[in-house]
Amino acid sequence: MRLFGVILTTCFFLIYHSAAYALSGYWHYNEYLDLNPDQKQLTLSLANAVRLEPKPLQATQENPVKISVIYPGQQVSDYWSRNIRAFELRLNELGVKYEIHQVFTRPNLDIRQQSLSLMEALKNKSDYLIFTLDTTRHKKFIEHVLRGGETKLIIQNVTTPVKDWAHRQPWMYIGFDHEIGTSLLVDYFKKTLKPHSPYSVLYFSQGYVSAARGDTFIQAMTEYPLVSSFYTQANQESAYKITLENMREHPEIKLLYACSTDVALGAVKALKELGREDVLINGWGGGSAELEALQHHDLNVTVMRMNDDTGVAMAEAIKWDLEGKKVPTVYSGDFEVVSSEDKPDRIEMLKQRAFRYSDRH
């Protein structure tokens, strides 16, 4: 099978074997908290602060804090742009003075741009640097920052501490735990998918997100035969092309498990073109584009992040730091499962909760 130069894997044994070790270099979110009761209490306290009304900074701040943000925000998913909006609005409410410099790049691409932006952030002596971790190159960048020691590093979209960094962890890991979100989708499909139905996995690009969302899904779906799986280029076009050929090669597929918004929407386009409304497909994240697709019955289900929680949590953490308080190492926001069968009233209620900052005009 020739699929446009995209890395692919169709051997069930290899995929399943890798699933067992998907996050072997990381502490799982709840595992880390159980091993560190003091951290668990700090995380619970931060989660409580996120849900409450803002309490202004209780410390004198002479100079604005310098914040650098480097995000893979150039994608259909609006998670990243909403995250920054919620972050800034909460900082304003808390009375924190700040200067922010942000760079949005393309996922799985723009490595040189990310590298230059990181070096600039360190050169400018940013107080806080917000970045993500998905590839080996990202890991090397982060290790360089950790060796510097002055800039406090917030790892966004990762909630599983790296074991190799036990002696010196980033200041904070923050996001919506991919394993927890995936387990909610597993529960949904085990209730709705007929026993022994064949399925296929459409990964994000090769890296952490694919392992945490895709490999853990495979590991949990042992009663269902996996017939194919593919790494995409983390965009709609590659997912669309892969799905067209995948479905022609494996017409027996009853579920396409998609690891991201862009991947899901690309697959939806292909399924429509093939007239395969019988195939179940999920979203991952529950942003605006996914919710619209659910309402049109293009997607069957998604796991919806209470999106603005993480932006609010970062703002609260910086406020705590300025007040001299301890900040938790990990924080994961809340999820809700949303399906195409949900009534508009429920979806609207969840949108008001999830986008309570980022939807402000």
Q: What angle do CA 49, 53, 55 make, to 5 degrees?
A: 75
- Total H helices, total E strands in the chain: 14, 13
pLDDT at 75: 53
Query: Over the chain (361 residues), what is each successive 10-residue block's mean pLDDT?
Result: 39 36 84 97 98 96 92 68 94 97 63 66 82 71 79 93 93 97 98 97 92 96 97 94 98 98 97 97 96 96 97 98 98 97 96 96 73
Amino acid at 105: T
Whether the Cβ atoms of residue 79 and residue 284 lie closer than 8 Å to each other? no
> How many whole angstroms separate alpha carbon 95 and alpha carbon 58?
9
pLDDT at 106: 60
Domain architecture of the chain: domains with CATH? 21-176+307-333 (3.40.50.2300), 179-284 (3.40.50.2300)
**Given the DSSP bridges, would you call strands 98-104 and 65-71 parallel, antiparallel or unpaired?**
parallel
pLDDT at 111: 62
**CB count, 10 Å around CB of 226?**
20
- Read off the DSSP letter of residue 28: -
Task: Give the global pTM.
Answer: 0.88
> How many whole angstroms separate alpha carbon 259 and alpha carbon 178?
10
Cβ partners under 8 Å of residue 55, min gap 6: 49, 94
Instruction: Tell which residue, 62, 104, 69, has the closest CA to residue 88.
Output: 69
